[in-house]
A and B are shown apart, each in its own frame.
Chain A
Amino acid sequence: MLAEFVTIHAGTYRLGKAGHVENMPRSLHLAAFEIARTETTNDQFAAFVRATGYVTDAEKRKNAMVFDPPLPEFRWIRDPSATWRYPNGRTRGGIEGKGSHPVTSISFADALAYCKWAKVRLPSLDEWEAACRAGTTTDYFFGDDRKSIGRYANIWHGRDHRRPDLSDGFLTTSPVGRFKPNPLGLYDTYGNVFEFCTGRLVSDKASTRVHARGGSWWCSPNSCCFFNSADIGSVNIHASFSNQGFRVVRSASGKR
């Protein structure tokens, strides 16, 4: 049940993308850290809840946003019954048999609470990108041609979200590690769930705005295409969506 970690060595990393004002090309030194090979799963989150009795934002506030096609682009439904146990609402099924899927319908604040309990933390925006890029400077760790994305990521392949898309076998989340990893052995850095990161952007005005990266099962080539190494998503710190999750990091104590 414990996360497996991959060490990202201390060093100078090339981050950002030309033309991306929120994430300009730059070289940056990062201290060594360890990052989970996979996104945090339902089983891992369940262990946290069992140990602490933690109640998530969505459980308290009944404000989770869920997806149920057909829906217009970028449209989500607020479902008071949705929680991490029922990520798209009770009527759309629970997480039984989905212990190895990433936990979703949790907020950034919930992810922080998990991290505190597990003695880990969320990656910074820069750490996430360095780990995802694995030394590459292209849009994807496999190059610039996104045609291969389906081998590495659980995304939405439909033209829009008016019809369910099961073309890769998954309507929403897939078990973590089902698709091919990046060169460092990290799975699902693109797709499956948006992964919360710490850090601020120049455009941030509200203190309640937080960020997530890597795109999700919802993201399609014709909508936002955020399943890449450069783009950065935003959301309210207490909002819960069924395509949001997280991956944890920890200090690489004593490791180079």
Chain B
Amino acid sequence: MNKAIALFLLTLSTTTSFAQDGEPQVSAATKRYHEYRYENTEPTYGLGKVKAAIKKIKRNPKDEEDQSLPTPIFNALSTKEKFTLCMIHGEVASQNCDGMPWIVGEEKKIFAQPVGFFNDEEMWSDRQTKFLQTHRGEVIGMLRETMRKKSRVGANLKAAISAVHANELIPDLVKVYRKDRKDQDILTLLMVLMKDGQYKPFLASPSYRKLYGKDANYQSFVEANPANQKLTIDRAMAFYKTRVH
């Protein structure tokens, strides 16, 4: 698709519609979608064991903010259990400004970044991040299996895919997206992968300028209309072919 057509197809708007009295019109659909964006997808590997270990730390009232598993317990977890731990629990508190408020018409937008995971209240500790990176191959396998089993890519899985630059999962992401075309953050994730992969056709696109250019921020978006959906998927699949084959 040439640049002119791409430019035409992209409806790039930062305006938000408001009621005449100035109050935002946040529909029930938007509220539901906002909650949906923050949902996590739980892996099944050792889930009961990992949840029990987490429950023990959360039960300690003196250390309500210290969410780290004791080192011997962390070290004793298998690779699969460590993966599950990373997907359902962040060991350190996160802060301040990375949480996104409800946005009018949120369900019709492809944002520059997916929402944070763990409701923006926790994030991975250094050892969790290191685990994901050093076990990248196995992690990608477990991410794929979890996505296929659950037909869903929760905020936690998206964060992991982004963290390990799992370009190998692009066809899987597209497959889940096409199921109901509901989760626009999957398209966001595809764009993040292309951006991080410095994919030149994407870096030269109007959507890149809008989402990650000089004037962009974490709430920048493009409309999730059929043309933008198709364009993003086609471009991501082309990127995938350059990286994986």
Contacts and interface: CB of A to CB of B under 8 A. Distances in A.
Contacts of A150: none
B36 interface: no
A219 B97 contact: yes
A27 to B, nearest CB: 11
Nearest to B25: A19
A227 B92 CA distance: 24
B63 interface: yes
Interface in B181-236: 214-219
Interface in A145-176: 159
Contacts of A219: 97
Of the candidates B93, B98, B126, B214, the one having the most CB atoms from chain A within 10 angstroms of its own CB is: B93
B99 interface: yes
Interface string B16-31: 1010001110100000
B92 A78 contact: yes
A90 B103 CA distance: 41
Interface string A214-233: 01100101111110000101
B101 A21 contact: yes
A235 B95 contact: yes
Contacts of B145: none
Given A219-B97, A234-B95, A61 B66 contact: yes
Interface string B120-131: 110001100000
B64 interface: yes
Contacts of A61: 63, 65-66
A106 B125 CA distance: 19
A95 B180 CA distance: 54
Nearest to A215: B97
A25 B120 contact: no
A18 B24 contact: yes
A254 B156 CA distance: 53
A65 interface: yes
Contact of B65 (A77, A78, A236): A236
B105 to A, nearest CB: 10
A212 B92 contact: no
A225 B220 CA distance: 11
Given A77-B126, A78-B126, A224-B217, A237 B24 contact: no
A24 interface: yes
A142 B215 CA distance: 20
B102 A206 contact: no
A77 B172 CA distance: 32
A235 B93 contact: yes
A234 B121 contact: yes
Contacts of B120: 234
A244 B96 contact: yes
Contacts of A206: 121
Nearest to A238: B65
A205 interface: yes
Contacts of A226: 96-97
B142 interface: no
Interface in B141-173: none
20 contacts: A18-B16, A18-B23, A19-B16, A19-B104, A21-B101, A21-B102, A61-B63, A77-B126, A78-B92, A194-B96, A219-B97, A224-B217, A233-B97, A234-B120, A234-B121, A235-B93, A236-B121, A238-B93, A239-B93, A241-B95
